[in-house]
Amino acid sequence: MNIPHDSMDIMALLRGSEAERKEGVRLLFELEFIRQYAFYWYRRYLPRIANKYPEWEDLYMESIFGLINEVDEGRGPRTNVKGYFSRLCQNMCEKALRDLKEDEAFDQVISGLLGASDSGYKLRAWIENILSKMECKCETLLRWRYLQTPPVKDKEQLAALLQDECGSKKNGPESYSPIAIPVHLHDCRNKFRGLAGTNPFDFDDN
């Protein structure tokens, strides 16, 4: 494939005007080595990151997004774009592992606290309050995952519930597959944390 610019030129475009930036992003998708490194690191971290990135294209897109963010924040590659991008992909895979671990611990913590008699009811009310402010997908997913007794952990079941409550027939054009449930859960947990930060839970106020 003929690339009209070398990769350092693309970095310069990303730092430029809005139109140049758009062109820069488009050209990033043309670069073969970006695909190769994303695919390579994805393969190396499989199957540990499959819950966050079900397909290699997910890491590919996320790594492009990450690269642009690095450039926006004044970092980004100065000389060796390939080396920089490879390291970035590796870091993203490592971060995915940490995120998955955090998600797991978060699950355990929420479930544990909801079951605790001292703060359980209050916590439940606090979560309900936050969930009511969320979109259908996250509200449904988090409610079934955390507030239901017993909580629904099965991906197939969660996908069916999501499809039933928020799928194409009712609230939107989306369809949900079991393989994407961990990704949706991760996304919803993050949204939940974002909202929780603005509505802090006071553990000590009993």
Residues that bind another protein (CB under 8 A): 21-22, 25-26, 29, 32, 35-36, 39-40, 43-44, 56-57, 60-61, 64-65, 68-69, 72, 97-98, 101-102, 105-106, 108-110, 112-113, 116, 118-119, 190, 193-194, 196-197, 200-201, 203
Identify the sign of the CA torsion 175, 39, 84, 18. negative
Report in angstroms how near the CB of residue 50 gets to another protein at its nearest. Answer: 15
What's the rounded Cα separation, in Å, for the pair 153 and 33?
Answer: 38
Q: Pick between residue 30 and residue 165 the one whose CB is nearest to another protein.
A: 30
Radius of gyration of the chain measured on its C-alpha atoms: 20
- Mark out the alpha helices in the chain (DSSP H runs): 7-14, 18-28, 32-45, 56-72, 81-115, 120-131, 136-142, 155-166, 181-198
Q: Return the closest-CA partner of residue 85 out of 4, 3, 10, 147.
A: 10
Q: Pick between residue 92 and residue 113 the one whose CB is nearest to another protein.
A: 113
Q: Pick between residue 36 and residue 157 the one whose CB is nearest to another protein.
A: 36
Query: Residue length, the chain?
Result: 206
Report in angstroms how near the CB of residue 156 gets to another protein at its nearest. Answer: 27
Report in angstroms how near the CB of residue 144 gets to another protein at its nearest. Answer: 20
Q: Pick between residue 134 and residue 196 the one whose CB is nearest to another protein.
A: 196
Report in angstroms how near the CB of residue 69 gets to another protein at its nearest. Answer: 6
Report in angstroms how near the CB of residue 160 gets to another protein at its nearest. Answer: 27
CB of 51 closer than 8 Å to CB of 183: yes
Task: Quote the Cα angle for 92-97-100, to 5°.
Answer: 120
